[in-house]
Each structure stands twice: as structure tokens, then as C-alpha cells.
Amino acid sequence: MAPPAPTRDWFQVTLVVAFLFLLTLTAYLVILSFPAGVYAVFFTHLSNTSSAVTVVHWYLWIGPIAVTTPFPASLGAIFLAMTAVYVAMFVYAAKQGRSIPSSLVSAVREDILSVFSNRALLTLVSIAFLLYTANTLDSFVEATGSSIGDPFTHADPLWTLVGFSVAPIREEFGFRVMLVGVAAVLVSRASARAALKSLWRPSASFMSGGAVAMYAVWGVAVGSSLLFGACHVGIGCGGGWDLGKLPEATYGGLFLAFLYVRYGFHVAVLVHWGVDYLTSVFAFFGQGAAGVPWLSGNAYALQELLVLDVFQFFGIATFLLVIYAGIRKVQDRRKIKSAPLGPVALAS
């Protein structure tokens, strides 16, 4: 007979419900960000020199090397294509693991960590966690007197918004798939189908490649994160940020690499999308719809709400949740190590 589930007092339930309220608010902001971006790109005049029909040659990263695509496309077409990809990735993530309703009900009735049992919910938590911790790291760096800089101060708003939409795919492909994913394929020693799985989620290579694959993948993941951080400050490629950006960009690369290896390309891309696009799209919408400059200190109302949510309330909540999850994992491992051997184990 299974032991009864532990009861939860009203205080615990209140905390969980408050957390789920913030999670739901973040989900609504994510959904709203897609039409907000479409409106800003196609129905406002963010730029005095370009529009949604402006044709450009875009580029991809292959590691630290920028490669120009041979096919020109308009800014609007590029933006719509990227938006469609992100929507599809969210739908795919929502179908992975337990259903969203089941995960939420379980979080209230049983265990708050049930929110991690659905990939879309895990993605939302990861976005807020990365934003909160990266912002805290930036604040610490600035407190030491180092300059982080801002390469977008004089940038064209339309090009910047479309760039923020492209960057998650471009950078995750270049710094994660082409480095970490390819390394996973090379050490997987598996069939072509299994190799493709390793390219999508490098931890799949651990089954066939064993410890060698695991150490190789994590080693390349760390190296790619260092390169990712260096490129943000113009060491070897890219650039635009001051040297004070290096710690936060490297940390962000490590976190995204972990998500890619552990959960898959789509999760890393969506969390990167949350950092680049989600945090700024309502500012661009405010500029186009209400004339509030996107870099203005008097941010548009939806932008203010987003900042309060992911950088403060939900950000702090996710930070505490991840710490709690880590403590639980350590406790569970100690219980396993200290558990007495059963009669079957003793006999063997």
C-alpha cells in the first residue's frame, strides 16, 4: 500500500498559487509579444530609412565566423519566418512531458517542481531565471566600475527589432549546434538517425558514447560559451559591447549550452529569444503605437509590466525555485547513498 501524499498547509498553497499566477502572467506576455512585434514591424514607422519591404542579405554564424546567406529577403519576411519558427517551437515544447494543465494541478496539489515536467513551462521559468541572474551579474560588474556599454543606443529601431528576432536562431545555431552539436555527433558512434538526435539534443549521445561522449560534449559546451562571451565584446568576432559584458555573456552562454545539451535546441533558442526579443518588443511597440522612444526612461506600460515581472517578481521567484530544486536533488542523492541494501542486492 502506497504511503499517503503529504498534506500542504495554506501558506505553502498560497506561495505556489502566487508563483503560478506570475508564471501565467509571463505566458500571457509571451503570447502577446507575437502580435505586438508584427504590429510594430508592419504597421508603424519605426525607421526613417527602412521598412518591412526593405530587401537585405542576412548572415549566419558558423562558430565565430559570419557567413552571408545567398538569398536576399525583406525585413518583414525574415521577421515573419522567425516568428513562425518560435511559435512552432513553443507548441512543440508544450507537448513534451506532462500536459500543461496536469503539471499546474500537480504543482498546487503535490509538488511545485512539477512545473519542470512540461518543457514549455520549464522554458518560461528558464527565461525569467536567466534574465534575473544575468541582470544581477551585470549590476555587480557595474558596481566594480566596469562599463558594459550599449551597442544599440544609435541603432535603427526596425533593424534592431528584426535583429533581436533573428539572433536567437542565428547564435544558437552557430555557437551551440555547429560546435557542441557537431561534437556530440562525432563522439556518439551511433546510426545516422541517432546522430540527428544528438545534433538536436547532445545529451542523447551519452547513451551510445558513454563517459567519453559526456565529457567531450560538456568540454566543448564550456569552450563555446567562452567564445560566445568573447564575441560579444569583439574578441575574435562580433563585438559592440564593452569588456564589462564579458562575464554576463559568458554566463548566458553556459546556461544556454546547458539547456541545449540537456533539453534540446528548441529550449535553448526559446530562452535566448526571451532574453533578446521578449524583453524589448513592447518597447518597440510603444514607440510605434504611442511615440514613446524604445530606449526612453519613460517606458511604455506593457514594457514596464514585463520588466517588473521577469526582472523582479517572477525572476526572484524562479531563482528561489531553482535553488530549492538544487537542494532537493542533493537531498535525494544523499538518501539514495544512505539507503540500506535490500535482500536482493545483498544476495547478489
Question: What is the grid cell recorded at 192?
Answer: 545516422
**Are the C-beta atoms of 306 and 314 separated by less than 8 Å?**
no
- What is the C-alpha separation between 323 and 314, in angstroms, rounded? 14
pLDDT values of the chain reduced to their tens digit, one per residue, 348 residues: 455 555 567 778 888 999 999 999 999 999 999 999 999 999 999 998 999 999 998 888 887 888 888 889 999 999 999 999 999 999 999 999 999 999 999 999 889 999 999 999 999 999 999 999 999 999 999 999 999 998 998 899 999 999 999 999 999 999 999 999 999 998 877 677 778 888 999 998 887 767 888 999 999 999 999 999 999 998 877 788 999 999 999 999 999 999 999 999 999 999 999 999 999 999 999 999 988 889 876 678 899 999 999 999 999 999 999 999 999 999 888 877 776 655 544 343
Question: What is the grid cell recorded at 236?
Answer: 575574435
| Side chain identity, residue 188 | S
> In this predicted structure, what is the pLDDT of residue 206?
84
The secondary structure element, H or E, covering residue 66 is strand 65-68
Give the 3-state secondary structure percentages of the chain, helix then strand then coil, rounded to 5: 75, 5, 20
> In this predicted structure, what is the pLDDT of residue 88?
98
Half-sphere exposure of 144 (CA within 13 A, CB side): 12
> In this predicted structure, what is the pLDDT of residue 346?
39
> In this predicted structure, what is the pLDDT of residue 162?
97
CB atoms within 10 A of CB 196: 13
> In this predicted structure, what is the pLDDT of residue 90?
98
- What is the C-alpha separation between 241 and 210, in angstroms, rounded? 39
Domain definitions of the chain by residue range: 11-322
Question: What is the grid cell recorded at 215?
Answer: 565529457
Of the candidates 107, 135, 149, the residue with the CA atom closest to the CA atom of residue 23: 107
- What is the C-alpha separation between 203 and 189, in angstroms, rounded? 13
> In this predicted structure, what is the pLDDT of residue 7?
58
**Are the C-beta atoms of 267 and 19 separated by less than 8 Å?**
no
- What is the C-alpha separation between 3 and 301, in angstroms, rounded? 50
Look-up: residue for cell 503560478? 20
User: Under DSSP, is residue 240 helix (H, G, I), strand (E, B) or coil?
Assistant: coil
> In this predicted structure, what is the pLDDT of residue 342?
52
> In this predicted structure, what is the pLDDT of residue 13?
85
Q: Which residues pair with 190 in a beta bridge?
A: none
Between vectors from CA 143 to CA 139 and to CA 147, what angle results, nearest 5°? 80
Look-up: residue for cell 545534433? 199
> In this predicted structure, what is the pLDDT of residue 213?
84
Of the candidates 134, 159, 141, 164, the residue with the CA atom closest to the CA atom of residue 242: 141
| Side chain identity, residue 65 | I
